[in-house]
C-alpha cells in the first residue's frame, strides 16, 4: 500500500466504554491524519494493517489485548474492524460533507470474496444512485432520520453491510456574554457538545470576533442569541437563515424584543415563512428562573430540535426510551 489510502473504523467490540464515534485515518506515505480511538492506537492500527500487506479495499479485524488498550488510554482490550481503501476509490463526498458539517450515512459492504465498497449517502441523496439492496436503503433512511450513532450490521446472501452515521459534534455559537453565556458553555461541555461565545468588540471597528459571513452551522448545530443589540445580532441570524442548514436558531428576550428582531429580518427581504422555525423567547416552558435553569431549558430545546421529534414525556412514548 504505497499509494495514499484511507483506513476507516467499521465496528468495535470491547474497549470498555470507548467512544463508538466514527474514525478515519488518511495515510499519505509517512503522514497520518485523523484518529481512530486514540493517537497511539491509530499509529498501531496503521502499522498492523501495513504489516499484513493486504491489498486495499478490504475489511481487517485487529485484536488489542488489555495491556495495549490500557497503554493507549482505553479501559480494556477489544477488536477493531477497519476498512482499508485506496484513496482514489474512497468517496470524495465523505470529506466534503464533513467540511459542511452535514450528517450522512456510510455503508461499507464486505463480500465473502473480501471485496469491500464504501457508499456515502446524505438525506438528499437519490436512491437510484447506488446499487444497494432495498433493505439496506431502508435502513439508511431510518438512520438518516433518527440521527442515531453506532453501527448496524446486516448480512444479505454473501455480503455483509455495515451501516453507520457520521455526524459532527453539536456546535453552539452564542451571541453575547455574561453569566448565561458562561453557564451555557459549561453545560454544553457536560453534554459533549462544543461552544464558542461571540461578543461585540468595541475597539474602534465595532466588529464581532467572527463575522456573520464566516458562520458555518450544520443541522445539529445551534445559534443562541443572548444579546439585545439588533445591529450586532441580526446579520448573524440572517446568515444562519440563508444557509438553510436546519440549525437551531433561538433568541433570548421579551415578546417585544422578538417582534423587533422579526421586523428587522423582514426588512432584509425574508418572508414570514422563513421565520417560522425561529425559537423566541428561547427555551422550553419549564418555569426556569436561575441562570442554570435557563441554560438547562435552552439546551433541552436544542436537543428536541435536533431529534426532529415533537416535545413529549418519555412516559407517553411507546418506543425504546433511548432510540
DSSP secondary structure of 253-271: S-HHHHHHHHHHHHHTT--
Is residue 62 located within the same domain as residue 113?
A: no
Which alpha helices (H) appear in 86-125, and where do they start and end?
93-99
What gap in Å lies between CA 142 and CA 319, rounded to an integer? Answer: 14
> What pLDDT, on the 0 to 100 scale, is given for residue 205?
47
pLDDT tens per residue across span 45-94: 888 887 775 666 788 888 888 888 887 777 788 888 888 888 888 998 99
Q: Which residue has the higher pLDDT, 272 or 148?
A: 272
Total domains in the chain come to 3
Is residue 288 located within the same domain as residue 220?
A: yes
- In this model, does residue 259 exceed pLDDT 80? yes
Average pLDDT, the chain: 86
Is residue 177 located within the same domain as residue 301?
A: yes
What gap in Å lies between CA 237 and CA 234, rounded to an integer? Answer: 5
Q: Cell triple for residue 312? A: 413529549
Is residue 7 located within the same domain as residue 70?
A: yes
Q: How many Å separate Cα 195 from the centre of its chain?
A: 14
Q: pLDDT tier at 22 (50, 70, 90 boundaries)?
A: low
Is residue 289 located within the same domain as residue 228?
A: yes
For residue 268, what is the domain's CATH number? Answer: 3.40.50.720
| C-beta separation of 103 from 130 below 8 A | no
pLDDT tens per residue across span 282-306: 999 999 999 999 999 999 999 999 9
Strands (E), 87-212: 104-111, 116-121, 151-156, 159-166, 171-175, 194-198
Choose the weakest-confidence range: 21-25, 35-39, 138-142: 21-25
- In this model, does residue 319 exceed pLDDT 70? no
> What pLDDT, on the 0 to 100 scale, is given for residue 156?
94
Q: How many Å separate Cα 155 from the centre of its chain?
A: 27
Is residue 82 located within the same domain as residue 139?
A: no
Residue 57 in any domain: the answer is yes
Is residue 176 located within the same domain as residue 146?
A: no
- In this model, does residue 321 exceed pLDDT 50? yes
Range of the domain at 245: 171-307
Domain boundary among 67, 88, 109: 88
Q: Classify 58 as helix, strand or coil.
A: strand
Residue 214 in any domain: the answer is yes
pTM confidence score: 0.80
Is residue 303 located within the same domain as residue 193?
A: yes
Is residue 220 located within the same domain as residue 292?
A: yes
Choose the weakest-confidence range: 18-32, 95-109, 207-221: 18-32
| C-beta separation of 33 from 70 below 8 A | no
Q: Which helix (H) or strand (E) holds 135?
A: helix 134-146
What gap in Å lies between CA 114 and CA 236, rounded to an integer? Answer: 50
| C-beta separation of 24 from 7 below 8 A | yes
> What pLDDT, on the 0 to 100 scale, is given for residue 119?
92
pLDDT tens per residue across span 148-187: 877 889 999 999 999 989 988 999 999 999 999 999 999 9
Is residue 189 located within the same domain as residue 268?
A: yes
Is residue 298 located within the same domain as residue 181?
A: yes
Residues facing residue 174 across a β-bridge = 197, 224
Q: Using CA atoms in the order 129, 136, 303, 181, what is the torsion angle rounded to 10 degrees? A: -50
Q: Cell triple for residue 137? A: 436503503
Question: Average of pLDDT values for 218-226?
Answer: 95
Is residue 30 located within the same domain as residue 75?
A: yes
> What pLDDT, on the 0 to 100 scale, is given for residue 67?
86
Residues facing residue 322 across a β-bridge = none
Residue 315 in any domain: the answer is no
> What pLDDT, on the 0 to 100 scale, is given for residue 294?
95
Phi, psi at 155, each rounded to 5°:
-100, 120
Amino acid at each position: 500500500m504505497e499509494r495514499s489510502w484511507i483506513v476507516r473504523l467499521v465496528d468495535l467490540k470491547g474497549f470498555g466504554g470507548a467512544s463508538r464515534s466514527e474514525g478515519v485515518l488518511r495515510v499519505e506515505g509517512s503522514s497520518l491524519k485523523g484518529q481512530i480511538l486514540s493517537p497511539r492506537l491509530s499509529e498501531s492500527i496503521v502499522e498492523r494493517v501495513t504489516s499484513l500487506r493486504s491489498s486495499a479495499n478490504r475489511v481487517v479485524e485487529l485484536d488489542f489485548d488489555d495491556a495495549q488498550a490500557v497503554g493507549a488510554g482505553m479501559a480494556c482490550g477489544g477488536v477493531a474492524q477497519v476498512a482499508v481503501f485506496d484513496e482514489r476509490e474512497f468517496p470524495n463526498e465523505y470529506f466534503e460533507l464533513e467540511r459542511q458539517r452535514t450528517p450522512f450515512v456510510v455503508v461499507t459492504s464486505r463480500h465473502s470474496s473480501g471485496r469491500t465498497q464504501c457508499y456515502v449517502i446524505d438525506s438528499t441523496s437519490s436512491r437510484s444512485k447506488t446499487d444497494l439492496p432495498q433493505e439496506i436503503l431502508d435502513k439508511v433512511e431510518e438512520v438518516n432520520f433518527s440521527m442515531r450513532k453506532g453501527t448496524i450490521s446486516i448480512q444479505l446472501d454473501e455480503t455483509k453491510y455495515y451501516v453507520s452515521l457520521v455526524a459532527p459534534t453539536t456546535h453552539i455559537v452564542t451571541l453575547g456574554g455574561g453569566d448565561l453565556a458562561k453557564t451555557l458553555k459549561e453545560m454544553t461541555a457536560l453534554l459533549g457538545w462544543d461552544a464558542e461565545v461571540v461578543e461585540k468588540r468595541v475597539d474602534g471597528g465595532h466588529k464581532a470576533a467572527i463575522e456573520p459571513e464566516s458562520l458555518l452551522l450544520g443541522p445539529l448545530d445551534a445559534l443562541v442569541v443572548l444579546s439585545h443589540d439588533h445591529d450586532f445580532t441580526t446579520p448573524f441570524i440572517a446568515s444562519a437563515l440563508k444557509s438553510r442548514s436546519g440549525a437551531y436558531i433561538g433568541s433570548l428576550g421579551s415578546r417585544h424584543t422578538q417582534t423587533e428582531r422579526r421586523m428587522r429580518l423582514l426588512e432584509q427581504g425574508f418572508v414570514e415563512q422563513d421565520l417560522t422555525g425561529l425559537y423566541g423567547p428561547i427555551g422550553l416552558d419549564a418555569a426556569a428562573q436561575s441562570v442554570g435553569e435557563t441554560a438547562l431549558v435552552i439546551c433541552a430545546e436544542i436537543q428536541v430540535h435536533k431529534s426532529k421529534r415533537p416535545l413529549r414525556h418519555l412516559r407517553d412514548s411507546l418506543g425504546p426510551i433511548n432510540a
